[in-house]
Structure 1
Amino acid sequence: MEVLTTNIGALEAYQCGLSHQLSEIQKRMKVHQPKLAKVCFALYDSRDHLLRSYADSSSLSLRMAHYEAPLSSLPYLKSCLESRTEAYLSELSDLHPSPHVRALLGEGFHSSVAMPIFAEQRFCGFLFLNSHYPDAFTQSDIKALKPYLKMLEVAIFSEYQLVHLLVEKLSKLIARSPVYQRESFSHKQRVAAYTNMIALALADHYDVDDEFVEHLTLFAQYHDIGKIRLSPELLCKQQVLTQDEVNQLRQHIIFGEEIVEQLIAELNAVDHPSAILLHDVISYHYEFLDGSGYPRQLQADEIPLGARIVCVANIFDAMTTHKPYKQGCSVPYALLELEKMVAMNKLDARCVDALRNHQHQLKSILERYPERDPMEGLY
């Protein structure tokens, strides 16, 4: 895979993702159903039983676009899933006035059709057709749109399948390295949570959608996958590393890049936006804005946005985590140190600001994913 040399290039690649595909199909659907104003897909998180906004055909994204809710709190959707049939909402104002419903009404949407989507019998989320008109959709309308709905399902399934194949293959590699698996579990969960916090805070500024945020959060868990090729002795050493050992440890970036490039090639997905994002995270999360990072000494906008976010999340977690040879520092102290790195032109100021402005969430993340006792030898 060619090295991406500009952040703009990476974001442009992501604009060809699922949201773009939904937009193109919607244009064709409007010829048959002029009242159709938006097509969107909400992803189901089976681990936490949450429904999250994910892909949206609308070029005017809602300010409340980044939204999640327990499926159990949405009875009309739960019933729709159980019956495996579409649910018609003739007037959105009849629903419980959640923040998301209020945002939809504020953008002038009044009616909707929800359809459960399955990938090989696995429920993966809901497809929604939205209109600015009340009672805009009938069963005959949906029947007439069936060919386009099938196209939408194929687009969603293709995206879903690729991302989950990447994650599945990476997870299997980790499972074969029990030492790394134990050493990294809580760390990668916290880094993913911090990444999500930062990405959501920056989404509007950088005009990135929920698909980008979702995938970046998912891929952040595998930022140091190359460590599976390092020796257990190096991973679990309880003394300060020598310079030679530090150099060996830094090789995990190259190892991770080789692993991911092989997986992406096997899946024939070299140019896919999600594959590019995964490659960005693995390859560049130790690059600094002033060019002093590694392994390629990229500078400023040469470092993709996703990698800049994961870089800050990773460093923050390293600072606040205990090791056998060092005491983890407090959240305020870690934020102060990150601010110093911003002043030295090493870290993205907006990423650090996102952590500082959401300190109330940091404690809950640390409590949810506590670190292992360093005395176990596998921390």
Structure 2
Amino acid sequence: MFHHQDSLEALNRHLPLKQKIVSAHRVIKDKFNFIARIAITLYDPESRIIKTYVDSSGCDQPLKHYETSLDKAGSLKAILDRERPRVVNNLVTFDNNEHEHTRRIGHQGYAASYTMPMFHSGSFFGFLFFNSYQPDVFDEKTLKDLDVFGHLISLIVINELSTLSVMDAAIKTTSDITHLRDPETGSHLDRMSRYSRLIAQSLADKYELNDEYIEHVFMFSPLHDIGKIAIPDTILLKPGPLDEKERAMMNTHTTIGRSMIDSIVANFKLDGIEQIAVLKNIAEFHHEAINGSGYPSGKKNSEIPLEARIVAVADVFDALTSCRPYKDAWSNDKAFDLLKRLAGEKLDSDCVNALIENKAEVEQIQSQFQEDIFG
């Protein structure tokens, strides 16, 4: 009675998303051995950016840590405009395409591809790619079977993102209450989260960061100050400098934030989320200093989790370059000069350099997410 082994049994277990995609790819290869790679990109509707997220590749990663504007990727935008998948049975015909992602795919040696747009409740959220080193493999019968697998993989991704969304919504609801009292604006969170992603992306090769980690840094960084909900208005909104007792109270927002996240994760049974530690570390350790003078634990150097070091630089830079009731906005160059002086003492040198070396991208973020009239 129990002789049959479920070929997709791995999907029943608590595994990282990448392992689930790899398991699905293994089953697909049993039927279509020419499928060399399955890849998923996510769409950020606010910036209209397409970002690599996860794939089933081993050494084949032509688009590792890659992002592009959907408006500049004409072939992908055409898929979305038509809400229809695209079949390219001979990528040689795309050799003269000027877009970088097409060139990278071609240089990897892929000869054919099938691209499906992914939707959840009618909303577009990314693309799913099937790549082959062999040309002319995607006939109608093959495509019908791949459609089934494609929607299965899409559901796996939706489930993963929905779990993250539940957690994100629970925490952001609390965070929104905080920011009704906190003078920091939504534009600040938009910018610093994208600075955080920019830094993580720049450090990806040195620290061997995968695209999932980079995306989670982006998703979780706006929640760094969630613990401020517990800080009294007399301290949080004080226009002048805090005294020693008030500063000590303000500093508790890091441990309070970590405790709140622990409670939310437990109450919503979200402890199975991969890389949940990234969120916890950002909330608790983003005020630690490289020389050990920070709080709450006085961690030094690499004792401070990388994600907290990344967010610290992004947060400080945006605070310096933003207008506040008590100060004018600094120029980028003036802010960069201070970051350089703080590097190696208060802030991580790699993270500081990663931000400064991407000045053009920083300016683009600032242009797109300008301070609102209440900023």
Correspondences of 1:324-339 after superposition (within 5 Å): 324-326=325-327, 328-339=329-340
Distance in 2 (alpha carbons) for counterparts of 1:79 and 1:370:
30
Aligned 8 A contact 1:81 1:116 in 2: yes
Aligned 8 A contact 2:118 2:125 in 1: yes
Residues 1:212 and 1:292: Cα distance change in structure 2 (over 3 Å) = same
Q: Which runs of 5+ in 1 are unaligned?
A: 1-15
Distance in 2 (alpha carbons) for counterparts of 1:335 and 1:17:
38
Q: CA deviation at 1:172?
A: 2.2
Aligned 8 A contact 1:191 1:313 in 2: yes
Letter in 2 for 1:215: H
Aligned partner of 1:340 in structure 2 is 341
Q: What is the alpha-carbon root mean square deviation over aligned residues?
A: 2.7
Q: CA deviation at 1:323?
A: 4.2
Residues 1:173 and 1:136: Cα distance change in structure 2 (over 3 Å) = same
Q: CA deviation at 1:104?
A: 0.8
Q: Which runs of 5+ in 2 are unaligned?
A: 1-14
SS of the residue corresponding to residue 203 of structure 2 reads helix
TM-score, scaled to structure 2: 0.85
Residues 1:353 and 1:75: Cα distance change in structure 2 (over 3 Å) = closer
2:345 matches 1:349: no
Distance in 1 (alpha carbons) for counterparts of 2:358 and 2:299:
29
Q: CA deviation at 1:146?
A: 6.0
Aligned partner of 1:210 in structure 2 is 211
Aligned partner of 1:298 in structure 2 is 299
TM-score, scaled to structure 1: 0.84
Residues 242-277 of structure 1: CA deviation (Å, up to 9, x unaligned) = 122211211111221122122222332224224222
Aligned partner of 1:231 in structure 2 is 232
Residues 1:199 and 1:235: Cα distance change in structure 2 (over 3 Å) = same
Distance in 2 (alpha carbons) for counterparts of 1:233 and 1:244:
12
Letter in 2 for 1:42: T
SS of the residue corresponding to residue 137 of structure 1 reads coil
Q: Percent identity?
A: 29
Letter in 1 for 2:316: I
Which structure carries more relative contact order (alpha carbon 8 Å, separation 6+)? Answer: 1
Residues 1:82 and 1:329: Cα distance change in structure 2 (over 3 Å) = closer
Distance in 1 (alpha carbons) for counterparts of 2:370 and 2:123:
31
Q: CA deviation at 1:177?
A: 4.5
Residues 332-372 of structure 1: CA deviation (Å, up to 9, x unaligned) = 3333333333343x432211111221223334434444457
Aligned partner of 1:165 in structure 2 is 166
Aligned partner of 2:26 in structure 1 is 27
Residues 1:124 and 1:322: Cα distance change in structure 2 (over 3 Å) = closer
Q: CA deviation at 1:108?
A: 0.8
Aligned 8 A contact 2:110 2:132 in 1: yes
Residues 1:189 and 1:233: Cα distance change in structure 2 (over 3 Å) = farther
Residues 1:36 and 1:99: Cα distance change in structure 2 (over 3 Å) = same
Higher mean C-alpha displacement, 331-340 vs 22-31: 331-340
Aligned 8 A contact 2:178 2:228 in 1: no
Correspondences of 1:1-379 after superposition (within 5 Å): 17-60=16-59, 62=61, 64-74=63-73, 77-78=76-77, 80-81=79-80, 85-95=84-94, 96-145=97-146, 148-177=149-178, 179-180=180-181, 183-326=184-327, 328-344=329-345, 346-371=346-371
Aligned 8 A contact 1:22 1:56 in 2: yes
Letter in 2 for 1:94: T
Aligned 8 A contact 1:174 1:180 in 2: no
